[in-house]
A = this chain, B = another copy of it.
């Protein structure tokens, strides 16, 4: 007997991950048939033309083939050569050996230094311990490892925003836990309120669910919202009252586009509040921000207020598949330790970074404004991250899944239906990235406009 679909467990079968679901499969099929597809389904900047940072790639090339240090030093800036030497020296064996399961020690130390420096100012000193940092193959794997710790049985629930990034719902289902959704308020820019958290918590309790943790995505995916310091303090307070751990998905921390917003980390607010009991897991990634190095799979999680016994379990889980890829680990290092003032690459680095973030901000504005002007579509401002999540009014009986499939067939634009992220009953949305180049962005907005008028 071959392995049959009826043999597969219900956790696997029930797992859904919309960002790469049937609409994307259909897009690939159309592309094979020769159709031009604009992939707005996934935050994959370099697939839409974003260039990697020169410094980052120079150092990685040198680390891959160290002979270049002597064969072609003139092809590299002095600080890239020095950085590569430092990495080869400190890693001990370069990119080809397994590292510690938690990741190379000097990279974890650099991450801790980055967190301290990012979050400390004259009013508050934030500590960070490299032994509480784990380097992973992208942040997704880090989130999955932490959820694996948190979900001990089918009664265990994890609070996630609605709408949420489907990594969370997919992984919770796969691990046999319960997703406990709390709604974000679209009308007020997808804000987060204590009332909504309490409501979700109570309703889960009534169903016999043991709520274990709350996930917060800041800046928001798919919502594009940026949380205030007070909002974060409120979440911490809520988690504390109910004995929950917090998962803070902060992978878009560099992607903030409006002058009035700034990124505040959960680690910072936790420290401000003097909170020493509540467990916090914070995630970051090389795939987003201005690096956009999705394919290199670099990420980390920092754990706070987590006992050595629990950390030992996390280390053990990581050790079963040995370690994260070394290129991704080194990339994390370069993310947290960019060229400093006075170093040869500094100017190029700043120019490239500014250009990328400026361009993303401009596209975020163009897209949100453009979509908002379409009759029947409303779109909150895209304050951060890489997505718009517009609300669409649909004819009775039609779903946003129908809409997105029809949009793909009619225009070649590939977006993800709102139901893949979760939404208020009776509403419909789709998620689109802000990543198409500016000239293509206008085409995207125009095509959605024409399609919308014809379809509804």
Contact = CB atoms under 8 A, between A and B. Distances in A.
A1 interface: yes
A140 B279 CA distance: 30
Contacts of A9: 151-153
Contacts of A153: 9
Nearest to A95: B295
Contacts of A144: 320-321
Q: Count identical subunits in the complex.
A: 2
Q: How large is the interface on A (under 10, 10 to 19, 20 to 34, 35 or more residues)?
A: 35 or more
A178 to B, nearest CB: 14
A322 B140 contact: yes
Contact of A317 (B15, B307, B324, B328): B15
Interface stretch (A41-49, A372-380, A405-413): A41-49
A295 B323 contact: yes
A99 interface: yes
A375 B326 CA distance: 42
A195 interface: no
Given A321-B137, A325-B296, A325-B328, A149 B8 contact: yes
A20 B144 CA distance: 21
A61 B319 CA distance: 28
A3 interface: yes
Most B Cβ at <10 Å: residue of A28, A42, A278, A326? A326
A174 interface: yes
Interface of A: 1-5, 7-10, 12-13, 15-17, 19-20, 28, 42, 44-47, 52, 54, 57-58, 60-62, 64-65, 67-68, 71-72, 74-75, 92-101, 137-138, 140-141, 144, 148-153, 167, 170-171, 174, 212, 243, 245, 277-279, 287, 292-297, 305-307, 309-310, 313, 316-317, 319-328
